[in-house]
Chains A and B, each alone.
Chain A
């Protein structure tokens, strides 16, 4: 590692899981700074000083007009070009929950066509309500995502009302999977497909996370930053647990370090 990996954690306008996301990156060895999106807009070149750009969870603009929608418009309109530069220059990005919704609506995920247009969406859960519960997600073996290498399986909380992944047309999801862009799926404790609440929202193909063709941009509905200490897991008083959410951040920091 030539120098310490630096992470920009975006805040403002209703983002609320920024502090713990920054902490997760620090635990993974990075230097993490919380930056208000207005300060980025005022000085867009700031973006290019970071190795990783992180979009945290929360309720940007109250989820009004669709989760992540207004924040995506704000970001694309003001920082879209800089963002492309940042990614083209080898930068990494992660979007968690509301951050995933933002990346999807900005067209950065999955971006299979490379056109930067929105290709999939995240809509109201089948249950029609917001839920906070722990689920198990499994890393897709064929994924090209650098963030989920050697992850296998991890328990993580989901905390959302609009996390159901949909695609435009039949066959699109298979194509995404074929290209290695499907990164995480909700898993069942038993053999076979997960059913509610193991799949908490009814996503197509039980998909919980996607990456872009570079494998360097990850978006996921669950909150890995909420499992970086054993006592965050609901079972910690009953058995020994490893805080495996941290692995995702370690992977990201490692990948960023390798490319600097």
Chain B
């Protein structure tokens, strides 16, 4: 036989956990409708010479746990189903299982698998229903039509003879292979804009004008004529320019000239800022670098690189993958992870990815369905898909998820924010060279490694530079294949150590156009041969090959004499590597297809021809930004009548409660270097402030990884939002035992469109918010001597759907990587022993604006928290000293829901109670001493610390003159008692707190 349809199923005598879990989800989505669910794995084979049932069984069937049917249907034997859904990948979408099936068959068939053979996989669900249900909705539960197709068959139709197809369409529509040429001569602005829009170039009028002017330049025209090119740009050239000039690649907004005016200032004077990036980020790092000597390579490589010790470097990068995750949460998140992993692999001469982080922002999963505009996925689906993508992408890559966060806010309904980060390790010297320095010499070969090129991921870079809408291109969506990438990563590190390449970079946004274009800058030119590029299937237009963002690819510069050694190693490791061009010093990027030149652009124009943007920024202070004295305003004394109830309910708040149900599914300790894990304490359910991990097997020096993010404070002033985010990351680093003199940070800005225009009337205000966030960030980093080593911005986080525009709250994520001199001095948040003393460290100033409490009470409660930088810095250094000396038994920073949540989390982690008195809480003089304010305000730079009575004197001496109060004591009683002036104000049992905290309390407000 050569063709077969195989169905593989777990016999009924075994419980199928996968099906049970699915049933659980089905019952939540369709209450009372689904009785049971069976899963059948389907493999469709065509044109496999030498195939036999025995070989099919050897490859596809576990003889103990499964049964396999050849050209027969499980559904025909099973009586008890009412509805069948079979889901497969749409034509052209990567099917990693089918790729593995091809490899596995190749192992068993003497002649291998013919190239023309077709292998497809599908998953079939057999459902037993107990009530009528919308079958379309049911089908949608199982698949995302953007990337998958579903065949649905009811029992009645089955009885009429309807069956799932013997094979699925795999034909991919062919694009015209001819190269189109555009005549820009004399095109009006509106025609230029129309061209940009129609071809999804995402270029502005000014940018299109610059392109037009370039091609009208007589010198350019003459040079093109001599090369046999038409006067106007080819589609290959236009696409190359658009990818290179995209907001995603060039950060036009961060490099714009900004005219900022502050309506709150009487003078109304205008300030001109030439590049936010240079002014607030790079200059800050340059300033701090005088004191922080560990910086090695910042801002210009794929990630920021610092020295870890005398022979090791570490690097860190965080990316966002918001738009793809909005369309296809699973694929979007997975490609987010494997994408940022490649940034690390492509740093210097290639670093080993050593940890992942992910910070995820969604609208509430309990958003009522009618509130979700048509065209958007429900936030619960987005959450589920993104989470699954991270589980599969991260776990399969063998990179531990060290730290992260989940954040819920209604403003993320239009686009979720999916921040994916990776940290890496590389030796200082690699094959006798400085590992930070990439080289590309004229004559070197351009080699593409990893996956093949397809139509998936076309226009990703330009698409993410625009608002999401009903017309967003679905070709921008891709499925990742972590195993192809893992093989490539292993291969690259082996090739690196053998010195088989000179330089490398990743293929991300803009595909080969960006990666090779960037590397060409080092040698001074390149010739790319599109005919040599390995394709997933025929029928791609030349421009598509060049800009496709198909996953799992890296680009290398290989010296000609290393060619064979590199290609042979690749073959032995099962990795595809292909020479696709030659680096030159011609000053140009030349592209050939069909043996003809189809693009020839001067690198100086490609990289330097982009006109600078000019953007207005108008700041109007919100009413809440009143003088600090007003911190006492807002909260009415009678607002909270049942404090005991509030203490419990807050712990079940969607933004406070445990993330264990999600985080438990991440591998957070592969590679064996974890020291502080995401959950700590006796029952391992207390939250950590971040991660501590080792870098080397022979050293106890460790890394910390922490985050800061607080978008709701930005409603008041993004300046404070930014400072609080920096402070949150720094104080978590300190709480873990980190050294405040050794930390570096990344800034990731996700903003609603700040470019004012007819459909974006408040753009200048959002731009002003961006300016203020940058100022806050810069000031805080200077005060903490905290260098920013890398960053990224995503500036179009708006969705326009169903006549509605949904914009995210301006969001800044600060990710911190720090050093702890001896990881055996790291500390965790859980209380350790009854009798230990509980201290509040840091002044409480009572701010409630933008806090968890404000959101729960549903009305404004005055100004947001703000940081007092010099005081905080002093406190951090002293607390770090006490931790280093081992004087502290637990340490937890105060963040969401303030000192109360911190105490409750310490107690939950330790499985111990506490008796605390608010009398000793160090208060700023101006605030009213309302216990609700004291417990829930979110003043930054504060900690809850427990200390053994034996160390009391040393501890108090170490912290002398700092704002600190002895609140009480850790108790064996399983409850937390809050006192005031000797009286019990309220108490909460650990059992109630744990119930709420674990998300079982039903409170999702």
Query: Which A residues form the contact surface with B (CB < 8 A)?
Result: 11-17, 19-20, 23, 36, 38-39, 42, 57-59, 61-66, 69-70, 73-74, 77-78, 105, 117-121, 123-134, 157, 159, 164, 166-168, 201-202, 225-226, 228, 231-232, 234-235, 237-238
Contacts and interface: CB of A to CB of B under 8 A. Distances in A.
Given A64-B97, A166-B65, A234-B680, A128 B21 contact: yes
A168 B67 CA distance: 12
B669 A128 contact: no
A73 B672 CA distance: 28
5 contacts: A13-B487, A15-B398, A62-B96, A226-B669, A232-B674
Contacts of B487: 12-14
A234 to B, nearest CB: 5
B696 to A, nearest CB: 11
A64 B670 CA distance: 20
B60 A65 contact: yes
B682 A132 contact: no
B670 A232 contact: no
A12 B17 contact: no
Interface stretch (B278-286, B634-642, B660-668): B660-668
B372 interface: no
B483 A36 contact: no
Interface stretch (B430-438, B760-768, B827-835): B827-835
A133 B685 CA distance: 11
A13 B483 contact: yes
Contact of B18 (A20, A121, A124, A231): A124
B664 A70 contact: no
A14 B20 contact: no
A123 B481 CA distance: 22
A128 B22 contact: yes
B100 A61 contact: yes
B73 interface: no
B732 to A, nearest CB: 16
Interface residues of B, number: 69
B874 interface: no
A215 to B, nearest CB: 23
Contact of A38 (B64, B573, B677, B890): B573
Interface of A is mostly: mixed
B593 interface: no
A166 to B, nearest CB: 6
Contact of B21 (A129, A231, A235): A129
Given A38-B572, A132-B668, 19 more contacts: A17-B670, A23-B672, A23-B697, A59-B396, A59-B398, A61-B100, A61-B103, A62-B481, A65-B100, A70-B103, A70-B104, A123-B16, A124-B16, A129-B665, A130-B391, A166-B65, A232-B675, A237-B832, A238-B830
B27 interface: no
Given A19-B671, A61-B104, A133 B17 contact: no
Contacts of B396: 14, 59, 62-63
Interface of B: 10, 14-22, 24, 58-60, 62-66, 96-97, 100-101, 103-104, 107-108, 391, 395-398, 481-483, 486-487, 490, 572-574, 664-672, 674-677, 679-682, 684, 697, 823-824, 826-828, 830, 832, 890, 910
Contacts of A77: 107-108
Nearest to B15: A126
A168 B672 CA distance: 35
A226 B482 contact: no
B17 A62 contact: no
B161 to A, nearest CB: 31
A64 B101 contact: yes
Most B CB within 10 A of own CB, among A36, A42, A123, A225: A123
A119 B64 CA distance: 7
B828 A237 contact: yes
B667 A132 contact: yes
A58 B679 CA distance: 22
B565 to A, nearest CB: 15
B740 to A, nearest CB: 20
Given A118-B63, A134-B684, A126 B20 contact: yes
Most B CB within 10 A of own CB, among A12, A13, A132: A132
Contact of B10 (A17, A39, A123, A225): A123
7 closest A-B pairs by CB = A16-B398, A128-B21, A20-B672, A64-B100, A121-B65, A62-B483, A128-B17
Contacts of A119: 64
Contact of A61 (B391, B483, B490, B675): B483
Contact of B670 (A16, A105, A128): A16
Contacts of B823: 231
Given A16-B397, A70-B103, A164 B17 contact: yes
A36 B571 CA distance: 13
A38 B103 CA distance: 13
B333 to A, nearest CB: 15
Contacts of B15: 126, 202
Contact of B827 (A73, A127, A237): A237
A231 B669 contact: no
Given A61-B103, A231-B675, A232-B675, A166 B664 contact: no
B65 A59 contact: no
B567 to A, nearest CB: 15
B572 A42 contact: yes
Given A12-B490, A20-B672, A235-B682, A105 B832 contact: no
B669 A132 contact: yes
A219 to B, nearest CB: 15
B398 A39 contact: no
B483 A73 contact: no
Nearest to B684: A234
Nearest to A22: B697
A230 to B, nearest CB: 8
A125 B574 CA distance: 31
B62 A17 contact: no
Contact of A123 (B65, B668, B681): B65
A165 to B, nearest CB: 10
Contact of B574 (A13, A120, A168, A231): A13
A237 B17 contact: no
